[in-house]
Amino acid sequence: MSGARGFVNWTPARKTRVLLDMVQEVLAQYAEYLPLTIRQIFYRLVAQYNYPKTELDYKRLCRTTVNARRARLIRFGDIRDDGVTRLTASGFQGIADFEQIVRNTADAYSLHRAIGQQNRVIVLCEASGMAPQLARVANAYGIDVQSAGGFDGLQPKYDLAKSIVLDAEKRQGSLFTPKTILLHLGDHDPSGVCMFDVIRDDVGAFVEQLAESDDIAVEFEAVRIAVTEQHIADFRLPTAPPKDTDSRSKRFHGETVQCEALPPDVLNAILEAEIAARIDRKTLADVILREASERKQIMDALASLSFGGVA
């Protein structure tokens, strides 16, 4: 079906139907964590159904899911694809549209969950396709998630360091020294480990130098929270030897494992535990209480507000 366009009628062969049934079972099992990446589905098939862990079988899975989505056997929103950037134009349809948006916004009023926290936590994940899943955990604590895909370049590391120093400047004057903790999730392989080391050292150096030049007190710590050797043992993750062609393999010990081999629920639990260990829960609870009070004040004020009576 390589030349297919748009939606198609497709009747999978018996062998392909078996694979498709397994994929649909994985999507149903992890419905709470959708969309999944193809790699995450692949590793669930390997772990739960003894699906062959070869590049050819991975490509077969990719073809099958593409055909199934075109045939509307799998919803497009269940699998995450990356690579497209969209910049949309904004504007209102009129006063009535503006009024509805204002009232909807007021009804959803929320305070940033990081208000008052001593530590600023940032989550950095190697695979961009996993970012939305991780954000569901992190955003609930007011924590940003970003992919590390561009961090092999200089600008992203400088930009991150600059944002850390600017945030510390805003928080100066408190009883504590502002601290930023970077939680990194990446593959357990030569490239993934090396990427973390480079980000930790380069961002850390920029932070130190920028803070010194601006006379700002700031602490920075980078922690690799997944995948670890302990995770590989605890969850019996599928492994592979390092590639001989990777020059960094000489400095890497052990077998390789992709971060997407961790089940989505396990990955989220790991992240939540790491975040919970670094935030003040009482401060978070106070922010949530204040949020409810302020939302009521806003809704009460809007109740008597007129937008001109335009329907």
250-278 per-position pLDDT tens digit:
678 788 999 999 999 999 999 999 999 99
Q: What number is the average pLDDT over the span 64-69?
A: 95
Domain identity same for 182 and 265:
yes
Q: Which positions ≥6 away from 75 have C-beta within 8 Å?
A: 69
Asked, for residue 93, whether it belongs to a domain, the answer is: no
Res. 175: pLDDT tops 70: no
Domain end call among 62, 78, 94: 78
Domain identity same for 164 and 250:
yes
Question: What pLDDT score was predicted for residue 170?
Answer: 84
Domain identity same for 47 and 178:
no
Domain identity same for 45 and 186:
no
Q: What is the pLDDT of residues 199-233, one digit of tens each?
A: 999 999 999 999 999 888 889 999 999 999 999 99
Domain identity same for 35 and 184:
no
Asked, for residue 7, whether it belongs to a domain, the answer is: no
Query: pLDDT band for position 83 (50/70/90)?
Result: low
Asked, for residue 109, whether it belongs to a domain, the answer is: no
Q: What number is the average pLDDT over the span 130-144?
A: 94
Domain identity same for 123 and 224:
yes
Range of the domain at 53: 14-78
Domain identity same for 133 and 244:
yes
**SS3 labels along the chain:** CCCCCCCCCCCCCHHHHHHHHHHHHHHHHCHHHCCECHHHHHHHHHHHHCCCCCHHHHHHHHHHHHHHHHCCCCCHHHECCCCCCCCCCCCCCCHHHHHHHHHHHHHCCCCCCCCCCCEEEEEEECCHHHHHHHHHHHHHHCCEEEECCCCCCHHHHHHHHHHHHHHHHHCCCCCCCCEEEEEEECCECHHHHHHHHHHHHHHHHHHHHHHHHCCCCCEEEEEEEECCHHHHHHHCCCCECCCCCCHHHHHCCCCEECHHHCCHHHHHHHHHHHHHCCCCHHHHHHHHHHHHHHHHHHHHHHHCCCCCCCC
Provide the percentage of residues in the chain whose pLDDT is more than 70: 94
The CATH number of residue 246's host domain is 3.40.1360.10
Q: Which positions ≥6 away from 220 have C-beta within 8 Å?
A: 164, 179, 180, 182, 203, 204, 207, 208
Res. 311: pLDDT tops 50: no
Angle at 120 between CA 179 and CA 82, to 5 degrees: 130
Asked, for residue 229, whether it belongs to a domain, the answer is: yes
Q: Indicate yes or no: pTM above 0.95.
A: no
Highest mean pLDDT: which range of 21-30, 124-133, 168-177, 298-307: 21-30
Q: What number is the average pLDDT over the span 1-15?
A: 87
More confident residue, 304 or 294: 294
Copy the structure tokens of residue 256: 């390789």
Asked, for residue 186, whether it belongs to a domain, the answer is: yes
Asked, for residue 285, whether it belongs to a domain, the answer is: no
Compute φ and ψ for 145, nearest 5 degrees.
-125, 135
Domain identity same for 128 and 267:
yes
Query: pLDDT band for position 22 (50/70/90)?
Result: very high
Question: What pLDDT score was predicted for residue 271?
Answer: 97
Of 75-89, 131-145, 187-201, give the lowest mean pLDDT range: 75-89
Domain identity same for 182 and 237:
yes
Phi-psi region of 5 (alpha: psi -120 to 50; beta: other; left: phi over 0): beta
Q: What domain count does the chain have?
A: 2
Query: pLDDT band for position 64 (50/70/90)?
Result: very high
Res. 173: pLDDT tops 70: no
Domain identity same for 130 and 274:
yes
Domain identity same for 242 and 140:
yes
More confident residue, 125 or 4: 125
Domain identity same for 71 and 139:
no
- In this structure, are residues 197 and 238 in contact, taking their beta carbons and an 8 Å threshold? no
Q: What number is the average pLDDT over the span 46-57?
A: 95
Asked, for residue 305, whether it belongs to a domain, the answer is: no
Domain end call among 78, 99, 127: 78
Of 76-85, 99-108, 155-164, give the lowest mean pLDDT range: 76-85
Asked, for residue 156, whether it belongs to a domain, the answer is: yes
More confident residue, 2 or 141: 141
Question: What pLDDT score was predicted for residue 4?
Answer: 79
